[in-house]
A and B are shown apart, each in its own frame.
Chain A
């Protein structure tokens, strides 16, 4: 609370707007999820056969996805907060009270893990409860379960990393190979997570979703739920599902029991973290080697890591200033382990979403159903998802591109360059990456949905136009409102301009997807004209953002807010 009061001491109007915008973004996202679930459950409630099993399937899927999201994001957050965070500099001085650093990182991880609850789980729960009522106490039990589930995921992520690091240490010790480092420990963790996700996908059996709901005999009047329990029962998220399901079915005892089990599991997870805390200082010390080591060892480490020639150099564009700037962006984005991991994480999430469409299509084809009737909805949802993911990428990587130059301003700011050239180099770099991702996405989308070529091209052109706009929007906002008080993308993205970007991209993405849906559905008169107008507006807005950004950069100062 003291920290908040200190933060709120000056620039109160701007910070009040920031808080309101932040709450506005949370509300907008939450309301979208709430409305979607309410609509979806409203439809399901009318189907006597599916009204029990299908909501249960949604709960299982949603809570499992949320659990895994929190686990993976906690893994990244905790590792860098513990071993590469700013608090690490305090650690040598704080000894013997070093556990403060560990618990601070754990607290940060827990809080950032619980965020998805506010934005995803609670609105989904409220949407569901609007159709399938839950008593006050049932709702309270579910909230406790959900918090414990999030806490458990965050705790497991830390325990998992320590186990991976210990495993690697043992292998290194017994094989006498110099393979024990922070990067390799993270690498082992990432590979294990990827393997785990693949095993989970196999167990859940996404390949044939409809089989879950298929009637075994004509005597069945409702769909089976035992098959769901069989597939999802091994995951902690199943307990949160049972809490909600029990609360909705009036089985308060079941809800209380599953909640108690989750509380116990969370407590055990926290105990595991407590045990891991004992290994923190030795691990931290080893992982710092390479950061504080003497010069000769430093180079030896780099050469040992990367072979005789040192690290793999990016294609040498160093021939011109613009090329050098372009290459620098590549180094910053892909050599920084944290950036690379976040990029990989978001990319995998996006591809998982695309893969889900693939499975759904496979299911529809298998049971002889055509996607034709739902084409407009499916493609518009795909577009909305693509916009969401590209916006998430841009918020993490593009928006902070200028503010992140605070520490290195002495190079760019004193170079014989116009800052406008720096803007173009950054724009070209990020636009190239996201256009390439966009092309992959459009190709996959075309392959999955198998639309007519003209329609596929229209979808592709529209997506790529939106990507160009979003990159310009994110980069431009970051250039017009630079913030040199922090170079942490997570802090920058919750500043006033960052929230402005979230709000703007949500609104823009929503409007674009809706207009595209109307265009594809072909029922509303003038839908084509409206979409063309949206395209024209996008081009116009892009030009305006370029103009404003370049003008702002003409008087750009690398200076903190005095």
Chain B
């Protein structure tokens, strides 16, 4: 089952084509990592799928629902974790999670239960009554990851997942994303941390100038780049990006 289907997507800002006629598909249980140089259109692509930006051409369907035609239903099936974690001034971490849960229609009792479980998993129990703006960057990032997972979406969009996380938390986050996919979800990760992509992605896409120049499992990418079996994703990136 295709959880995400992007067809001939183009997104422009004035004369600049940030995403150019791009198509990709994500199936249930799959982790897809998107890599590419700065300005290659990775974040724009994720933001367009998430509904923050409107496509100029093409179609995006999340869980079979068109993001432009029926945004509310499409967004109900996705979770988004931004590269810059932020919330409103004066909101505590706990309020932030309840707020996000309420927006996605998670019932209060279930929300409470899930929040407690996530807080324990990310070793954040006990700090949820602090103000969001007072948290360290890493903790803010963890709260946004929890917010993305809270409503059990079908598709998780993650922009730079482990920036600011300590090694232990980075491991937890990677484990969570993998587990989320194993339980039937699909994850689209945008990252510059090639180690993460190599470690947890089933399929890796290379984006360059808004175009998807390669999209395949790591082993196939190495073949495409005409590199040996011991080549790293960094080597592949140098050839393809």
Give chain A's interface residues, CB within 8 Å of chain B.
290-296, 298-299, 301-303, 306, 309-311, 313, 318-321, 323-325, 327-328, 331-332, 334-336, 407-418, 555, 557-559, 562
Do the beta carbons of A318 and B102 come within 8 Å of each other?
Answer: yes
Which chain B residues border A416 with CB–CB below 8 Å? 71-76, 103-105
Residue of A nearest to B77 (CB): A416
- Within B34-75, which residues are at the interface with A (CB < 8 Å)? 50-54, 71-75
Q: What is the size, in residues, of chain B's interface with A at 8 Å between Cβ atoms?
A: 50
B237 in the interface (beta carbon within 8 A): no
Asked if residues B90 and A559 are in contact (CB atoms below 8 Å), the reply is: no
- A-chain residues with CB within 8 Å of residue B74 when the two chains form the complex: 416
Q: Could you tell me if A413 and B100 are in contact, using CB atoms closer than 8 angstroms?
A: no
Q: How far is the CB of B46 from chain A (nearest CB, A)?
A: 10
**Cα separation A359 to B139 with both chains bound (whole Å):** 55
In the complex, A336 Cα to B16 Cα: how many Å? 38
**Between-chain CB contacts (< 8 Å), 30 pairs:** A290-B134, A295-B124, A298-B127, A301-B134, A306-B129, A310-B94, A310-B130, A311-B131, A318-B108, A319-B108, A324-B98, A325-B103, A327-B99, A328-B88, A328-B99, A331-B91, A332-B89, A332-B90, A407-B84, A407-B86, A408-B87, A409-B52, A410-B80, A411-B87, A411-B147, A413-B51, A415-B100, A416-B71, A418-B71, A558-B53
- Complex Cα distance, B128 from A222, in Å, reads 70
Q: Which residue of A lies closest to B18 (CB)?
A: A562
Residue B136 interfacial (CB < 8 Å):
yes
The 4 closest A-B pairs by CB, nearest first: A335-B90, A310-B129, A324-B102, A562-B13
In angstroms, Cα B79 to Cα A114, docked, is 49
By the criterion CB–CB under 8 Å, are A293 and B134 in contact? yes
With a cutoff of 8 Å between Cβ atoms, the chain A residues found around residue B72 in the complex are 416-418
Residues of B close to A301: CB separation below 8 A: 130, 134
Complex: chain B residue closest to A333, CB-CB? B90
Bound-state CA distance A408–B128 (Å) is 19
User: Which A residues lie within 8 Å of B86 (CB)?
Assistant: 407-408, 410
Please state if A295 and B130 are interface contacts (CB–CB under 8 Å): yes
**Given A408-B86, A410-B86, 12 further pairs, Cβ under 8 A:** A292-B136, A299-B127, A302-B130, A309-B129, A321-B103, A327-B99, A335-B89, A413-B51, A415-B75, A416-B75, A557-B54, A562-B16
How far apart sit A321 and B74, CA to CA, in the bound complex (Å)?
16
> CA separation between A323 and B99, bound complex, in Å?
9
**Contact assessment for A408 and B102 in the assembled complex, using a CB-CB cutoff below 8 Å:** no
A414-B75 contact, Cβ under 8 Å, with A298-B130, A302-B130, A303-B129: yes
B75 touches A299 (CB 8 A): no
- Residues on B with C-beta less than 8 A from A310 are 92, 94, 129-130
B167 an interface residue at 8 Å Cβ cutoff?
A: no
